[in-house]
Structure 1
Amino acid sequence: MPPFDEEPPPLPPGFLRVIPLGGVGEIGRNMAVLEHEGRLLVIDCGVLFPEEHQPGVDLVLPDFSHLHGRWDDVEAVLLTHGHEDHIGGVPYLLEAGLRAPLVGSRFTLGLLDAKLTERRLDSTMHEVRSGQTVTFGPFTCEFVAVNHSIPDALAVAVTTSAGTLFHTGDFKADLTPLDNRLTDMASFYRFGERGVDLLLSDSTNADVPGFVTTERDIGPVLDRVVGEASGRVFVVCTSSHVHRIQQVLNTARNSERHVAVVGRSMVRNVRIAEELGYLSVPPGLVLSVDDVDKLPADRMLVLCTGSQGEPGAALSRMVTGQHRDFALMEGDTVIFASSLIPGNESAVYRLIDRMAYAGVDVITRQQAPIHVSGHAAAGELTAVLTALRPRNFMPVHGEGRHLRAHAKLAMRTGVPQDRIIIARDGVVVDLGDGKASVVGQVPAGFTYVDGGGVGDVGEESLRDRLILGEEGFISAVVVVESRTGRVVAGPEISARGFADEDEPLDDIRQRVADDITNTPHSEPVDPDELRRIIRRSIGSQVNRVHRRRPMILVYVVET
């Protein structure tokens, strides 16, 4: 296997090239590009939510640079389902230059259409359903129903002259799903009989033994937890998890509580799901925020966003007292009917601690089984591998440990070790003559959305933000006479985020003055040379005395 950092060679005739631009080695930002006969097919385009080491960032996108200059070669964008980590990047893809149709199920396109309308974007949409076959250029795509924590999820088999690639999307094998839409294992076996040359499969729970619990077990637990609450109840879940929302509405009805829906995405998705027939809302159950707020505490339930501790989401604003309608208080119960996305643990636990100090009862999966994963565990993944019998296998949608655990499952089912590729984002895999091989690497770094800017902030800016946040900054100003280069004023030293008192700056000021006087330098002094002397002087003093490494800004003013 060649090094991952090599530029790939031209695609040989008759081969299929597969490039994951996101979702491999991480959970989120899912995107894969397929190339065959000079044409491209994109599968998913999602976002990743920022972690603490990415301050100020709103979203993280895949790197679209591989597609620049090739927008006319893209036949279609296939969307496996409507979660943000699979469709959230589509608006930015359109803004970057995409003109190809967006292909997905009815509910997926319903969510996406609302997202594009908000951003005043337009695109051709092509609705597909399970069991349907559609051809886009040299790619013949067959869609298969899979069960997930959102309606209308699809797997897709892409057949070309190079062979058949099967992408599971996100899935699990719940045998008693709430909407009675099973993962179509019969089709999986059918494709296995026909022959799958390369399998890309969801790996999120590959290191979890057994099978995922059925969604139907959640309803009775929600009924019990809500029934035991004597005050106001706030249920937090993912706004696209329509099945969970349905269970919350059913529980509210059973406990004789009325519901207020709070959070922009929650309000939008509940409306879309009800309009498209994926959500049944009992008449009179959902009331306006004002009407629900007037009810007795034991007769109200608030369904809201914020399950990942997002600062701008409804729950966070309720906890901090910044929400315009609700503030959490002693006697309230908050139910997290969701699971944590890796990287969000600290933010969520901080919220939970604040609620605990405020006297709020918090129920998570640790206290009661009120959520089940939407991703297949090891038993289900093994069954899929057995059904599809892939000649080559590349685990996707997972961090490194998940990919490796999934690879071990594949070996147990008979996939040869040399036919298993544990890749990273940007790795280029060519499929031909029945064999998949790594042939190089393309750029696949993070593209940051920061306010209205896309890609304006890079790793250097984030490093600066982290230094500013953790170490603060020190600035120094000196005035020099332009004719002679003689220092006529300064140094003036100031700082932010370094120390609350000015006393530590006195030593720094004296050290800089001494170094300017005593350090050999050109005559007249060169401003750039003077900046280097001052920066080195401050850095040395601060590191020696204070064991700190703040950002240092030096200004030389010539008069």
Structure 2
Amino acid sequence: MRIVALGGIGEIGRNMTVFEFDGKLLIVDCGVLFPEDHHPGVNVILPDFTAIRDRLDDVVAVVLTHGHEDHIGAVPYLLKERADIPLVGSQLTLAFIEAKLKEHRITPKTIQVKEGDRRTMGGFDLEFVAVNHSIPDSLAVAIRTAAGMVLHTGDFKMDQFPLDRRITDLGAFARLGAEGVDLFLTDSTNADVPGFTTSEKDLAPAIDTVFRTAPRRIIVSSFASHIHRIQQIIDAAQRHQRKVAFVGRSMVRNMTIANDLGYLKIPQGILVDFRKLEKTDDHKVVLICTGSQGEPMAALSRMANKDHAIRIHEGDTVLLASSLIPGNENAIYSIINALTEIGANVVHKGNAKVHVSGHASAGELAYCYNIVKPRNVMPVHGEWRHLRANAAIAVSTGVDQRDVVIAEDGVTVDLHRGRATISGKVPAGLIFVDGDSVGGITEDTLRERRRLAEEGSVTVLAIVDAETGQTAEVPEFFTKGFSCSSEDLDKAGAAVDKALKDASSNRQGGRSLSLETIIERATANWMRRFYNRTPVITAIVVDA
């Protein structure tokens, strides 16, 4: 069996792993990565489908371990290339992806499974195992083939007191371990955190304190898929006799699905339309919205920027009920500062116990390794510090160092005769979604965008005599985001004139560059020399 991650290794997001056996392909998860500050203008980042694009007919199914965006968000883009690939997942996971696909006008072929089910897809015998995570209905998957068994945990933790009473099935892990797990793919996100992850129920006192002490409205920001946290907020609202309104398209959509399927329990009469809350006393209002990661277009960000129908007022309490995704820290603290400037009291993980992780810490991972006793280990889902920490835990529980494979996106791992080894590499670059464009922009495009943001731009309009190759009038300069005095621009114009004269002489000797290139180089050199700046230079040449 060949295993290759097309995303999710060395990063938090873009999870997608392809398993190949006997000419058939099985995909586990197909998620997105959220952009960081150095990805200006990018909506989301997809896995690279290049390695499987010519073999999509060989794909027997996509198994979705749970309904978070970093595991299902790229499915619409994959199905646009082959719409009838079966999607396998739990009830809630499929409901979330079906709603997302409806927006893309795709009707998927779905196969609903639950813990304990076994399905054969092509040459893959799949068994599904209940795992506890920050979203209900999460599943691990055991993949059996003639080449051996792989156990993929998906995202999981070992909360012994989950809100839905659905714990990670360690008995199934032990049973699979006794049968013989040849390769264990394990969630690495919290591998560098000692001990065990705090239980969800331990957040109740801190959340209750927020509700008890908030003098006016409470605005809660959370992931639109974090049903457990939303349930805690609704329960607290009921205890403190507050009305609740959902704000934001994805929040309304997901909570409606969760309520309809019974994963969210909303007491009768507590839920109202946020537009009707204007007539309700502030101390009886709770608004639940998206934007906990500082996303520019999410509801909370727009509220902070005073660009939303709901305005934050002095005395309001804003509760950020999610963790910081690496890379989003600046955006989140910018939102916190903006809200604080307005006069809101902002409660977040840094100053109150209002969030716990959905991922297993080091103690839980060690526990699992001791139960499963895998022959080989491949850490997944995490940045490099997480992957290395996970590998160290595996070794400390008795896994031979040689049997721990730390791969990276695109690296192929072959499982043969009970041994996992790196065998090669396939393309696995970042595919950027920019508006309606998929893959149209590159790292070079982003580099130029960053330069525009940091250095500004200068456009040079030069009227040039076609016969002499020299300027007929003084060049004009138009600047955007670049500060320069008119006297200095006259000097830059002189540098352009000199460069054209020198180039005209060189051309007579046989050398030739376009006039635009000559002007751009001369302007860039002058700007660098006198301003120590490198704006984006564009030359427009008009024939005199």
TM-score (norm 1): 0.95
Aligned partners of 1:225, 1:545: CA distance in 2, in Å? 56
1:107 aligned to 82, 87, 92, which one? Answer: 92
Q: How does 1:312-391 map to 2 (within 5 A)?
A: 312-324=297-309, 326-391=310-375
Partner of 2:276: 291
Supply the distance in 2 between the matched residues of 1:17 and 1:329 (Cα, whole angstroms).
56
Aligned to 1:488: 472
- Per-residue deviation, 1:341: 0.6
Aligned to 1:4: none
What SS is found at the alignment partner of 2:275?
Answer: helix
Is 1:124 equivalent to 2:109 in the alignment?
yes
CA deviation after TM superposition for structure 1 residue 531, in Å: 3.0
Q: Which residue of 2 aligns with 1:497?
A: 481
Answering whether residue 143 of structure 2 is matched by residue 158 of structure 1, we say yes
Give the deviation of 1:365 after TM superposition.
1.4
Residue 130 of structure 1 aligns to a residue in which SS?
coil
User: In the alignment, is the contact (CA less than 8 A) between 1:72 and 1:99 conserved in 2?
Assistant: no
Tell me, in whole angstroms, the C-alpha distance in 2 between the residues paired with 1:173 and 1:249. 24
Distance 1:353 1:536 in 2: 42
Distance 1:329 1:502, change over 3 A: farther
**Counterpart code for 1:104:** G
Shift of 1:483: 4.8
Q: Which residue of 2 aligns with 1:78?
A: 63
Task: Specify the alignment match of 1:51 in structure 2.
Answer: 36
Q: Aligned pair 1:213/2:198, yes or no?
A: yes
User: Secondary structure of the equivalent of 1:25?
Assistant: coil
* 2:400 aligned residue: 416
Match of 1:65 in 2: 50
What CA deviation, in whole Å up to 9, does each residue of 1:328-384 have, x standing for no partner?
A: 121011011110110100000001111111111000112211111000000101111
Q: Does 1:456 pair with 2:440?
A: yes
Structure 2 unmatched ranges of 5 or more = none
Deviation at 1:97, TM superposition (A): 2.6
Shift of residue 73, structure 1, vs aligned partner: 0.2
* 1:531 corresponds to 2:516: yes
In the TM superposition, 1:243-282 aligns within 5 A as 243-282=228-267
2: CA distance, partners of 1:532 / 1:296: 65
Shift of 1:122: 1.4
Deviation at 1:226, TM superposition (A): 1.2
Distance in 1 between residues matched to 2:474 and 2:107, nearest whole Å: 58
Q: Which residue of 2 aligns with 1:553?
A: 538
Amino acid at match of 1:335: L
Read off the aligned partner of 2:179 and give its amino acid letter. R
Quote the sequence identity (%).
50
1:201 aligns with 2:205: no
Deviations 1:190-227 (A, max 9, x none): 01000000111000000000001111111222111111
Which residue is 1:10 aligned to? none
Instruction: State the alpha-carbon separation in 1 of the partners of residues 481 and 52 from structure 2.
Output: 42
CA distance in 2 between counterparts of 1:164 and 1:505 reads: 69
| CA positional deviation for 1:292 | 1.8
- Aligned match of 2:389: 405
How far apart are 1:52 and its partner, in Å?
Answer: 0.5
Local SS of the residue matching 2:80: helix
**2:57 matched to 1:33?**
no
Structure 1 counterpart of 2:506: 521
RMSD: 1.5
One-letter amino acid matched to 1:201: T
Deviates more, 1:229-238 or 1:549-558: 549-558
- C-alpha distance 409-403 of structure 1, shift in aligned 2 (>3 A): same
AA in 1 matched with 2:494: Q
Distance in 2 (alpha carbons) for counterparts of 1:310 and 1:543: 35
Whole-angstrom CA distance in 2 between matches of 1:555 and 1:418: 60
Q: How many residues align?
A: 543
Q: Indicate the SS of the match to 1:261.
A: strand
Distance in 1 between residues matched to 2:276 and 2:517, nearest whole Å: 65
In structure 1, distance between residues paired with 2:333 and 2:166: 35
In the superposition, relative to structure 1, how do residues 260 and 502 fare at CA in structure 2: closer, same or farther (>3 Å)? farther
